[in-house]
Amino acid sequence: MTTWPPADGTPYMPSNGTDGIAFVDRQCCPCAKYHGGSCGILGRSYIGRQPRSWTWQDGVPTCAAYRSREEERRRLKGRREDRRQLAMEVQP
pLDDT of 72 higher than 70? yes
DSSP designation for 28: I
- 38 in Cβ contact with 65 (< 8 Å): no
pLDDT confidence of residue 64: 94
First-to-last CA distance in the chain?
Answer: 44
Write the pLDDT tens digit of every residue in 8-64: 999 999 989 999 999 999 999 999 888 777 788 988 888 888 999 999 999 999 999
pTM exceeds cut of 0.85 = no
Q: For the chain, what are the domain ranges?
A: 17-71
pLDDT confidence of residue 25: 93
Of the two residues 69 and 89, the one the predictor is more confident about is 69
CA distances (Å), origin 24, targets 45, 63, 67, 72: 11, 10, 14, 19
